[in-house]
Amino acid sequence: MFATTLMDQIAAHLDFLGYETSWGEDRVLFARHPRHFNLIVKDYAFGVLFTTFFKVNDKGFTHRNEVHQAVNTYNRLARVCRGYLDKDFDLVVEAYFPNYYDKGVFGSFMDTLNEDLRALADEGVGLRQFVL
């Protein structure tokens, strides 16, 4: 298959990296991987947004201030990802990729994105105890 759009190129590259990809409504791309976090990929006018969600556990709900502090710590350490708590107090982590595909640049972006996501479990961040 010849990848013609930015999203097609990203889907093909994710497939190459071992993700299982599938298309949802409105050309939302779902990417699942056996060793990396699952991703939702959506194309916007400004670029492509990669998103993953984590449920905050009961301990997190009773220690909300600590969860906020841990998210702030994570945001200071992460290189391409940013985390925030949504209206349901779920942890949302997003990363932006510009509207231009280059195989080498995208490969580096994915390496960094996955390193950032693994950092969520780092002891110094403090989020591990609060998310499922």
Q: Is the pTM of this model over 0.85?
A: yes
Give the model confidence (pLDDT) of 63-77 as tens digits.
999 999 999 999 999
Q: What is the pLDDT of residue 132?
A: 76
Domain contains 90? yes
Q: Which residues in 16-118 belong to E strands, given as ranges?
A: 20-23, 29-32, 39-44, 47-54, 81-85, 91-97
Mean pLDDT value across residues 110-118: 98
- Domain holding 100: CATH number? 3.30.1460.10
Q: Is 35 a residue whose pLDDT tops 90?
A: yes
Domain that holds residue 79: 6-130
The strands making up 81-85's β-sheet, listed across from edge to edge, are 20-23, 29-32, 39-44, 47-54, 91-97, 81-85
Q: Is 2 a residue whose pLDDT tops 60?
A: no
Domain contains 1? no
